Amino acid sequence: MRLLKVATCNLNQWAMDFDCNLKHIKDSITRAKEVGAVIRLGPELEITGYGCEDHFLELDTVNHAWECLKEILLGDWTDGILCSIGMPIIRGSERYNCQVLCFNRKIVMIRPKMWLANDGNYRELRWFTTWKQKDQLVEFQLPPEISEALSQTSVPFGYGYIQFLDTAVAAEICEELFTPNPPHTELALNGVEVFLNASGSHHQLRKLDLRLRAFIGATHTRGGVYMYSNHQGCDGARLYYDGCSCVVVNGEVVAQGSQFSLKDVEVVVAQVDLDAVASLRGSISSFQEQASCKTKVSSVAVPYNICKPFNLKMLLSSPQKIMYHSPEEEIAFGPGCWLWDYLRRSGASGFLLPLSGGADSSSVAAIVGCMCQLVVKEIANGDEQVKADAIRIGNYADGKFPTDSKEFAKRIFYTVYMGSENSSEATKTRAKVLADEIGSWHLDVCIDGVVSSLLSLFQTVTGKRPRYKVDGGSNVENLGLQNIQARIRMVLAFMLASLLPWVHNKKGFYLVLGSSNVDEALRGYLTKYDCSAADINPIGSISKQDLRTFLRWAANHLGYSSLTEIEAAPPTAELEPIRSNYSQLDEVDMGMTYEELSVYGRLRKIFRCGPVSMFKNLCYKWGATLTPSEVADKVKHFFKYYSINRHKMTVLTPSYHAESYSPEDNRFDLRQFLYNARWPYQFRKMDELVQEMNGDRVAFKETGEDGGTAAGGGGMGVVAAASGDPKAGF
């Protein structure tokens, strides 16, 4: 037997905080050595943090990474252990995303990334170059200060593997695993038995299974030990990296780290038998045949044994059941951990949430409550870093610290119900009950006086006073009156967030939390600069359907029973007067259901459908209940409002990324925000298809609502203001 103990890790790094990141790296190596591991794998770009973005273009970023690596190599951290450490490196005039493989205070080789992640949330080609010379390892001249400190002038650089006396080890960096022809295929045929995958993979609902299946598939038919390391936490932007570092042997998961955690460092250890890898490969005839005519991959020889012989005291890691969280748990724990990192690293003293008593803001409140529960739980488990952060943020004194989540919430969480004459007693009561269950410091504020003052000012300036539609007003008046209420709430929220800590003799400021969901953003069913405008938004990339399921789960599992009643209530903006024969409802205002919105969103983004291809797909999906003409009308209605409201994405609150059809403009969904909302060519094509499908040969009408020309599309502000959509205007 060739026994090998390996360690991989989840690290909560912070982009550009080199002290923080270096501390976590050293801590993880120390823990790995303490348990006898001889290989330690860290996440991609762990020295700098993954999310540095255009800071990667600065020479300082690369120089500081070298300085940190030098500090690691000059100490005893790499003595007797192979450490794979991620950092950016400049070779000549090119910048590479690299794994630096270190052993016994020397750099053994540098492995640059060959295939970069460059879609969705990722822009690696903006900062890095792909390594294209696969046929050889080249010599890389180390920077003078590094060379002098290590007494090492150059190091092999490129695609290759490390050949120890008793096994071979190679790196495969993040995206490379998911390419059509991943490196591990060729490396396995060259005898590599241990694969090191350093990654920067973000959380997305229901995504983890895809990742784990890739690890399992990599070794199921080829054999091997596949080690995976990932970041975990918010490193400074919209993404939450969801850890789940693991070790897979011959297609079986033998060790798995947490997906959501407040820990800064988590080390996952496994002890494996490499003879099991050799045995599997030797039993597969096709593997041996292909290995006999393989393309040779370059290697670096290290004359050292890293395996141990048979020893009954060294227990092998056994296959285990993979741990998956339900989508409801993912919504609770992912954004909850993201909020904690944002809170403790921003310098803020807490959160303020406009709590309307509706599903969206109640979901945000429940997530903050979950965050408080996680903090208290980690402190009880002995996490000193979480304890220190909680004491500082909660302003505890005399050796006290959080022991009760409701008491902690009272210190760091304000909720405020900003009611108007159009608000119902039911939503007001629901907001108060939920606030009491969570423990937040709750305010009930009436905004009618401010609204009246603004309308009086408007009347003084113009001589006119707008009326609601139910009172005989026009669509323009109705929309304007609703937007006034919404925007007053934004201004009031930021005022309270900045001044309430002062009122209560607390230090610092509070972050305002947004509560618009991904479907509302997609449809534009929000007022620009209302309570959707906030500092951060934990649910901005979560669908309404998932949030309602989460509310039912949270009522039972987080102890907030009032969420059951909140989930059952029909969604309403409560911006228009309530009458005996009229009550404002979101889905009626939008002209579509939230379920339909999710369908439109997935077809638009994930399946890359324009109006015509969306129409064709929906004819199949909805054809049993709707005619082609009805499907076409729904698609046109969606694209009209998507277009006239796209401009709102330019100011959308930075949102936790959780859904693959998010319309978020700044990173994920890069499209224009000025459209011809009539889509004349596309809608005309749809009408032609409808006529063909209905057997109607009537001549196609070139003008009208679906006609027009691109030049005559009209300004989006005019279209939005005239739409009658309560949340459509600027």
One-character DSSP codes across 357-415:
SSHHHHHHHHHHHHHHHHHHHHHHTT-HHHHHHHHHHHT--TT-----HHHHHHHHEEE
Question: In the predicted model, what is the mean pLDDT of residues 658-678?
Answer: 81
CATH of domain 581-700: 3.40.50.620
How much is the pLDDT for 704? 45
Give me the mean pLDDT over the 549-563 stretch. Answer: 97
Which pLDDT tens digit goes with each residue over 466-497? Answer: 999 999 999 999 999 999 999 999 999 999 99
Q: How do residues 592-640 score in pLDDT, each as one tens digit?
A: 999 999 999 999 999 999 999 999 999 999 999 999 999 999 999 999 9
Give the integer Cα–Cα distance in Å for 389 and 575.
Answer: 40
Token pair belonging to 553 = 């789960």
What is the average pLDDT score of the chain? 91
Percent of the chain with pLDDT over 70: 95
pLDDT in tens, 253-269: 999 999 999 999 999 99
3-state secondary structure 66-105: HHHHHHHHHCCCCCCCEEEEEEEEEECCEEEEEEEEEECC
Q: What local confidence, expressed as pLDDT, does residue 323 receive?
A: 95
Mean pLDDT of 67-73: 96
CATH fold match for the domains 3-324 and 581-700: no
| Helical (H) or strand (E) element with 18 | helix 18-34
What pLDDT, in 10s, does the model give residues 644-666?
888 888 888 888 898 888 888 77
226 sits in which H/E element? strand 225-233
Is the confidence at residue 702, as pLDDT, over 90?
A: no
Split at pLDDT 50, 70, 90, the class of 677 is confident
**What pLDDT, on a 0 to 100 scale, did the predictor assign at position 214?**
95
Assign 3-state DSSP to the chain and report helix, strand, coil percentages, each to 5: 45, 15, 40
Specify the range with the lowest mean pLDDT, choosing from 219-233, 375-389, 433-447, 588-602: 588-602
At 192, list the tokens: 């590599």
Tokens of 116: 């970069």
**pLDDT grade for 572, boundaries at 50, 70 and 90:** confident
Residues 28/30/34/39 CA torsion (nearest 10 deg):
60
pLDDT for the residue numbered 197: 98
- pLDDT-derived band at 151, boundaries 50, 70, 90: very high
* pLDDT value of position 427: 95
Does 675 score more than 70 pLDDT?
A: yes
pLDDT at 507: 86
Domain boundaries, the chain: 3-324, 328-446+477-568, 581-700
Whether 134 and 114 have beta carbons less than 8 Å apart is answered as yes
The pLDDT score that the predictor gives to residue 458 is 95
| Tokens encoding 317 | 């890691």
How would you classify the pairing of strands 350-354 and 510-512?
A: parallel
What is the model's pLDDT at position 699? 41
The yes-or-no verdict on residue 698 having pLDDT over 60 is: no
C-alpha to C-alpha distances, 575 to 490, 543, 545, 670, nearest whole angstrom? 14, 22, 23, 32
Report the distance separating Cα 429 and Cα 565, nearest Å: 11
Q: What are phi and psi of 113, to 5 degrees?
A: -75, 135
DSSP string, 479-508: HHHHHHHHHHHHHHHHHHHHHHHHHTT--S
**In angstroms, what CA-CA distances link 316 with 32, 272, 313, 322, 367?**
17, 6, 10, 18, 39
**Confidence label for 581 from pLDDT (cuts 50, 70 and 90):** confident
CA atoms within 13 A on the CB side of 367: 34
pLDDT of residue 388: 96
- Residue 443 banded pLDDT, cuts 50, 70, 90: very high
CATH architecture group of domain 328-446+477-568 = 3-Layer(aba) Sandwich (3.40)
Spatial distance between the Cα atoms of 258 and 248, rounded to a whole number of angstroms:
15
Confidence of residue 575 (pLDDT cuts 50, 70, 90): confident
Distance CA 326, CA 556 (A): 14
Cα 314–chain centre separation: 39
Residue type, 690: V
- Averaged pLDDT for residues 286-307: 95
Query: Which pLDDT does position 716 carry in this prediction?
Result: 34
Instruction: Please list, residue by residue across 557-566, b when 16 or more beta carbons sit within 10 angstroms of its beta carbon and e when fewer do.
Output: ebebebbebb
669 pLDDT exceeds 90?
Answer: no
pLDDT of residue 712: 36
**CATH number of the 3-324 domain:** 3.60.110.10
- 235-256 per-position pLDDT tens digit: 988 999 999 999 999 999 999 9
Mean pLDDT of 179-204: 96
Instruction: Over range 216-221, report the average pLDDT.
Output: 94
pLDDT for 423: 92
pLDDT of residue 82: 98
Residue partners of 296: CB distance under 8 A and separation at least 6: 190
Tens of pLDDT, residue by residue over 321-369, are 999 999 999 999 999 999 999 999 998 999 999 999 999 999 999 999 9
pLDDT at 122 over 70: yes
- Return the minimum-mean-pLDDT range out of 50-59, 311-320, 538-547: 311-320
Q: What number is the average pLDDT over the span 686-715?
A: 56
Q: What is the pLDDT of residue 571?
A: 85
Band of pLDDT at residue 433, cut at 50, 70 and 90: very high
Residue 57: predicted pLDDT: 92
- Residues catalogued as catalytic: 44, 113, 174, 356
Taking each continuous run of H as one helix and of E as one strand, the counts in the chain are 24, 20
Query: What DSSP designation does 700 have?
Result: P
pLDDT score for 310: 84
